[in-house]
Structure formats: C-alpha cells, structure tokens
Amino acid sequence: MQVRARRGRSIGAKCAAVAIVLALGVCGVWPASAEETGNMVVFKGGFMRLDSDRSNALFTDARNPLGEGLNNSQGGWYVGAWLDQGLTKDAWGLLKGTWVVGEIGLQFNRISSKVVTNTNNIGVGTSPPAGLQVTSTNPSLQQLTMVTIDIAPKLKFMEGSAFRPWLIPVGLDIHVISPPSNQTQYLDVGVQFGAGFEYAVWKAIRLGMDARYHVTANMTNTTNSYMQVGPYVGIAF
C-alpha cells in the first residue's frame, strides 16, 4: 500500500509539473533566464512612406522638361539592422520589471522610383541661350534612396514573459538622402518615436513587429519625414 501511495504521489507530481509547463507555454509567461542581459542583434524589413514626395526637382526628374512624368512616389521598402545593449533591468530603480536598452540602428530606405528625364539628359548648352539644356531625349530610371542611422533608448516591459512590448520615447536620427536636393545638400537630422513587441519563439530567437515615425529638420530643403512598419528577427546574447 505504501509503495502504491508513493507511486501515486510521484505520478501526481509529474502531472502537476507538466500542467504548469503547459500553462506557462499557453500564457506566454516563461520565466526569464538569469543569464538574459538585454543584448540583441536584430534584422528588419518592411514598408515605409514619405510624408511628401520629392518630385519636380533637378536631381529627381529634372523638373519634367520632356513631359515624361514626375518621380512622385512616396511609398517604398526598407531593410536594416539594429543592436540592443542592455542598460538596466528596473529603469534604475524607477520601474520594476521594465528594462532600458540602448539601440544603435542602421536602415536603408528605397522609395518607389520611376523612369523619368534626369540629369543624364541635361548638359551645358553651347548654343544660345547659354546654360543647362536638354541634350538627350532618352529617359532612365532615377533611384530615390535614403539611409537612416539612429541611437535611441528603448523601454521593454513585462520582464519574465515570452511576449514583451516596448517603446521608444524619443531617439536621435541622422539621415542621408540620394539624390541630393536642388542645393546639392544630402545630410539631415531628426528624431524618431516608435513602439513594438516581440515574442521569444525558441531559445535566443525573437520574432517581432514595430512601427516608427521619423520627424526630420528638413535641412536639405526637402521634406524627409517618414513612417515605417514591419517585422523583425532578433537573436539575444
């Protein structure tokens, strides 16, 4: 009888343990590893859209001298990566269970581009009137691109959970646009705001989604502000 009782208690304990593990898995509340540091390398991609297009400019469509149309797309795609560096796991004692990590990111944006008249079709004329003249009538694809480098603090909530939402209250952006503006300026500065979430799918692998809005100073005399949204894959270390 004692042997049967012990077996019964052993089976009951095993069943309870399995039930707890299953419950944690379903609820997404796996205990955080003591070895977690907050460090992560991330690869991302998705959709972006400028607040205003860059059409009717010298280097984007030569102001449409041949009637081929304007390079007036606002939407496009992006690819990039960022590195999260853990700073504190309790917001320096202000918010228990809220991590603060520092993000350093690099992103390439490609705005949908068109076949238009561009600077390949323009040269300095030798016959009156002097100045820039159309020297070729064959339009070509004029690529519109932009690179963003950012440094931003990030608040990550729900310590100990597989599902973790996060927030960027404000971050610093440096932008490089191509082609340059009419004044041949290509550097801009601004800030970004963002929010997202991620889920620990297996060991150090994280899958997530984020949305951000970039406000620029428009130092290039062009409107460079844009929004973005897309998925990402992270590897914690």
pLDDT of residue 127: 59
Summarised one tens digit per residue, pLDDT across range 20-38 is 444 444 444 444 455 789 9
CA separation (Å) from 14 to 1, 5, 17, 19, 20?
A: 20, 14, 5, 9, 10
Q: Which residues of the chain fall below pLDDT 70?
A: 1-34, 118-137
Give the pLDDT of residue 81: 99
**Half-sphere exposure (CA, 13 Å, Cβ side) for 103?**
29
The stretches of the chain forming alpha helices (DSSP H) are 2-27, 58-61
- CA dihedral for 178, 187, 193, 208, sign (positive or negative): positive
pLDDT, residue 14, reads: 55
For residue 28, the model assigns a pLDDT of: 44
pLDDT at 31: 46
Say what the pLDDT of residue 98 is. 96
Query: Tokens 């089976």, residue?
Result: 11
CB 193 within 8 A of CB 170: yes
User: Residue 169, preceding bond cis, omega within 30 degrees?
Assistant: no
What's the token pair of residue 106? 């690099």
Helix/strand/coil (H/E/C) assignment for every residue in 171-184 = EEEEEEEECCCCCC
Would you say the pTM of this structure is higher than 0.85?
Answer: no
pLDDT for residue 27 = 42
